């Protein structure tokens, strides 16, 4: 049986992360992740912040978000390998095979489409779910709480529709 981390421990760790992110020692700004995509694109394509207004706007934010995303990846990898011992690599999760199909191409295509829609939506909304929900709700911003509720409802509806059993 894999070791589990309690919801209370997870909540305390998330609160500490948010406090650190808002602190002067940390990033001195709310948590977010989607700004790193255009920040990385600006680095990759050598966009001049003086010439492109948005590149100048994200210059400060994107640098630390990349470090946070790397930390999230390696932290999750560490936890799954050494703490919970639940790491497994799978292109086709069992639920996908059971409810959709056994095509790796289908799974990768849907993953790409979902990721693309999500990042476009994040940029249109002026931030990602971590920025709107985690940072907004931690500041008890009504917009963050509403966003969180709508996101959770949408996740449930989409999950029920998308993962409908074959033949149902």
Rounded Cα distance, 112 and 90, in Å: 16
Rounded Cα distance, 81 and 126, in Å: 35
Report CA dihedral (33, 30, 70, 72) to the nearest 10 degrees: -100
Q: Are 148 and 137 in contact (CB under 8 A)?
A: yes
0.95 exceeded by pTM:
no
Token pair 């940390």 is at which residue? 26
Domain spans of the chain, in order of start: 1-89, 91-168
Burial (CB count within 10 angstroms: exposed 0-12, middle 13-18, buried 19+), residue 29: middle
Q: What are the backbone angles phi and psi of residue 17, rounded to the nearest 5°?
A: -65, -45
* pLDDT tens by residue, the chain, 168 residues: 566 778 898 889 888 888 887 777 776 777 777 777 777 888 888 877 777 777 777 766 667 778 888 888 999 999 899 988 889 888 998 888 888 889 999 999 999 998 888 878 877 777 777 777 778 888 888 888 888 888 889 889 988 888 776 655
């Amino acid at each position: 049986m894999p070791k589990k981390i309690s919801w209370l421990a997870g909540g305390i760790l998330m609160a500490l992360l948010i406090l650190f992110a808002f602190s002067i020692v940390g990033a001195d700004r709310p948590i977010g992740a989607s700004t790193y995509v255009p920040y990385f694109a600006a680095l990759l394509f050598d966009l001049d912040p003086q010439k492109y207004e948005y590149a100048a706007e994200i210059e400060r934010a994107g640098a630390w978000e990349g470090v946070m995303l790397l930390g999230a990846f390696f932290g999750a990898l560490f936890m799954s390998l050494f703490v919970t011992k639940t790491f497994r690599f799978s292109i086709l999760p069992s639920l996908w095979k059971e409810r959709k199909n056994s095509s790796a191409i289908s799974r990768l295509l849907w993953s790409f489409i979902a990721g693309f829609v999500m990042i476009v939506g994040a940029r249109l909304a002026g931030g990602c779910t971590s920025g709107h929900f985690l940072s907004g709700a931690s500041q008890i911003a009504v917009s963050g709480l509403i966003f969180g509720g709508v996101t959770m409802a949408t996740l449930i509806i989409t999950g029920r529709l998308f993962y409908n059993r074959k033949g149902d």
